[in-house]
């Protein structure tokens, strides 16, 4: 039974317990009648406020904070006491608040996680729980979990292995599922799989909250992951496992093992690939070129590069090219130089993109030999796209496509200002972080942010409504194409490669609709297909209001 929109049963919290329940708490928005009935009289000041009035106070608090890290801490504290007001604030101005709860601020928050810790907002599963992980997962109060985001903290952004401090990423990712795409927060679960850390500084930090031991060997880790995966199937049947920020070799190996067996995806690999592909589609619309004619050079040959390359190949195959033909126009360059056939100790995935060119350990020389039309940085090497690199790309191409995708900002291969200045305004540029507009020779350039937040919330929304059995490469291609299609002709004229963040919910619903249409078409969805898919999706969106 409900009265005044508040669930009323024997188990419903009252008094202080209700004010400490972030899902049910309304703070000063409780009416006088609700305060009498729920034991709140005397526990709140007299005024009864609307949620918008409460949000005004939140924004005033945020305006007084001296840094985005302090704003992050305040917002996380708000999330822990009033979930509805937290999401109301984020969804009111995504341009302003997404960089605080997600990149770039979340990187700094992760580095200081043990020092700013307020309370658990997810689950910490340690390797010492081996043999009873399912039992531990049952401690989570909600069983209808549709997406579980799990990280080992093994490769957080460009920060490396930060172990249990990486919990800020699963928390932030799932908050964006809700803030960007309206996925109900009750069905989302952040998990940190604490396997230890190789980071000596953290192990010596008295406030570090994770296991103070080295990560296990691959075999032990794989056994732990297998138990975890099976425990999720048992405790949260039908749940999608979103793998996030695992060490590169672990990420590829685990995705290869499970992507065709269970309902899962890896955002660092597949989400990055999808948003990268979206930016390339838009850039090629601007240059009026075909993807099949492009030559793509990656700086970096890890999981992100492999993921983007694989998705490009999948899309080219759908257009009639063979895998060999599709891979011919893709080259990679890492710390050992150009990936070519004489190189030793290449992974199986890297070998697929090994070129027949002569060895080179110089990026500019490689550009001169390979003559790429597209240069993509996924290296976390700050400043790797030097003036010489950008100018060489600009000599080869009238409109060089340059993506510096590493984040946080301190790890970006170049800045937007550098890309535009050194290319004399001809570059089509995107980064993994949002750089400010650049004014050059009286013209304003709007750098794109090739950030996964254009993709994974829509994937989450599609997952929530359609209950699919799998997420395939086709789903990520559909997400990329839908994202690119939402960049208007006027925006492309300004050099923009991605839709405006200001209309993020609209963008995500449009993308999710395309994904869900594909899921029904391919027989992946496990629910009955509605007549109007978009209206059906919109009817299930989370709305940050106190009314039921």
Going by C-alpha positions, the residue among 187, 181, 239 that lies closest to residue 455 is 181
Residue of 308, 455, 447, 301 whose CA lies nearest to 381: 301
Parallel, antiparallel or unpaired: strands 330-334 and 240-243: unpaired
DSSP 155-194: S-TTS---GGGGGHHHHHHHHHHHHHH---GGGEEEEEEE
Quick one: CA torsion of 60, 62, 66, 71, rounded to 10 degrees? 170
Q: How far apart are CA 284 and CA 75, in angstroms?
A: 39
Query: In the β-sheet with 428-431, what is the strand arrangement from edge to edge?
Result: 337-338, 330-334, 296-299, 374-377, 401-404, 428-431, 448-449
- Could you give the 3-state DSSP secondary structure of residue 375? strand
216-243: buried (b, 16+ CB within 10 Å) or exposed (e) per residue? eeeeebeebbebbbebbeebbeebbbbb
- Is 173 among the catalytic positions? yes
What span, in angstroms and rounded, lies between the C-alpha atoms of 141 and 131? 21
Beta strands (DSSP E) in 264-379 are 264-266, 296-299, 330-334, 337-338, 374-377
What's 264's DSSP letter?
A: E
Residue 525 structure tokens: 């969805």
Query: H helices of 65-161, where?
Result: 68-81, 83-92, 94-101, 105-111, 113-116, 133-137
- Alpha carbon distances (Å) from 185 to 5, 107, 145, 256, 442: 19, 22, 9, 29, 45
Active-site residue, from 72, 97, 173, 454: 173
From CA 32, how far away is CA 87, in angstroms rounded?
25
Rounded Cα distance between 92 and 89, Å, is 5
Between CA 180 and CA 99 the distance in angstroms is 13
The DSSP H or E segment spanning 197 is: none
Helix (H, G, I), strand (E, B) or coil at 332: strand
Q: Which is the catalytic residue, given 72, 97, 102, 177?
A: 102
Q: What is the DSSP letter of 433?
A: S
Catalytic positions, written as ranges:
102, 173
């Amino acid at each position: 039974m409900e009265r005044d929109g508040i669930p009323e049963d024997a188990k419903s919290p009252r008094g202080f317990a209700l004010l400490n329940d972030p899902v049910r708490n309304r703070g000063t928005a409780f009416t006088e009648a609700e305060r009498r009935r729920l034991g709140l009289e005397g526990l709140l000041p007299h005024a009864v406020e609307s949620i918008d009035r409460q949000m005004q106070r939140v924004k005033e608090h945020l305006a007084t904070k001296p840094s985005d890290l302090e704003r992050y801490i305040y917002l996380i504290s708000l999330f822990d006491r009033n979930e509805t007001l937290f999401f109301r604030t984020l969804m009111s101005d995504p341009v302003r608040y997404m960089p605080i709860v997600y990149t770039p601020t979340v990187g700094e928050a992760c580095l200081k996680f043990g020092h700013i810790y307020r309370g658990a907002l997810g689950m910490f599963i340690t390797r010492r729980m081996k043999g009873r992980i399912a039992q531990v997962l049952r401690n989570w109060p909600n069983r209808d979990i549709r997406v579980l985001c799990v990280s080992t903290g093994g490769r957080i952004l460009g920060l490396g292995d930060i172990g249990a401090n990486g919990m800020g990423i699963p928390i932030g990712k799932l908050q964006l599922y809700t803030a960007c795409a309206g996925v109900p927060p009750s069905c989302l679960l952040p998990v940190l799989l604490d396997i230890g850390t190789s980071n000596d500084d953290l192990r010596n930090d008295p406030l570090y909250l994770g296991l103070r031991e080295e990560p296990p060997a691959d075999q032990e880790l794989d056994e732990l992951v297998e138990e975890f995966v099976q425990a999720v199937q048992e405790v949260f049947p039908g749940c999608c496992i979103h793998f996030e920020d695992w060490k590169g070799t672990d990420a590829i190996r685990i995705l290869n093992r499970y992507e065709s067996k269970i309902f899962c995806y890896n955002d660092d690999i597949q989400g990055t690939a999808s948003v990268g592909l979206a930016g390339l589609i838009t850039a090629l619309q601007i240059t009026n070129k075909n993807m099949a004619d492009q030559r793509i050079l990656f700086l970096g040959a890890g999981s992100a590069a492999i993921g983007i390359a694989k998705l490009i190949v999948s899309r080219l195959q759908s257009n009639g090219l063979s895998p060999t033909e599709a891979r011919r126009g893709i080259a990679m360059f890492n710390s050992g130089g150009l990936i070519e056939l004489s190189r030793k100790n290449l992974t199986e995935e890297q070998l697929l993109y090994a070129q027949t060119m002569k060895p080179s350990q110089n990026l500019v020389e490689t550009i001169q030999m390979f003559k790429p039309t597209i240069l993509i940085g996924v290296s976390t090497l700050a400043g790797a796209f030097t003036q010489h690199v950008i100018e060489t790309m600009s000599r080869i191409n009238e409109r060089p496509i340059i993506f510096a995708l590493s984040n946080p900002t301190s790890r970006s291969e170049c800045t937007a200002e550098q890309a535009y200045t050194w290319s004399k305004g001809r570059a089509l540029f995107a980064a993994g972080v949002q750089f400010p507009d650049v004014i050059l020779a009286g013209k304003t350039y709007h750098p794109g942010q090739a950030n996964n937040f254009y993709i994974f919330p829509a994937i989450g929304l599609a997952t929530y409504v359609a209950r699919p059995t799998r997420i395939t490469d086709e789903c990520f291609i559909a997400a990329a194409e839908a994202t690119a299609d939402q960049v208007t002709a006027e925006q492309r004229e300004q050099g923009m490669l991605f839709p405006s963040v200001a209309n993020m919910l609209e963008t995500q619903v449009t993308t999710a609709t395309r994904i869900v249409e594909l899921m029904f078409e391919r027989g992946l969805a496990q629910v009955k297909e509605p007549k109007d898919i978009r209206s059906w999706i919109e009817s299930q969106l989370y709305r940050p209001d106190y009314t039921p």
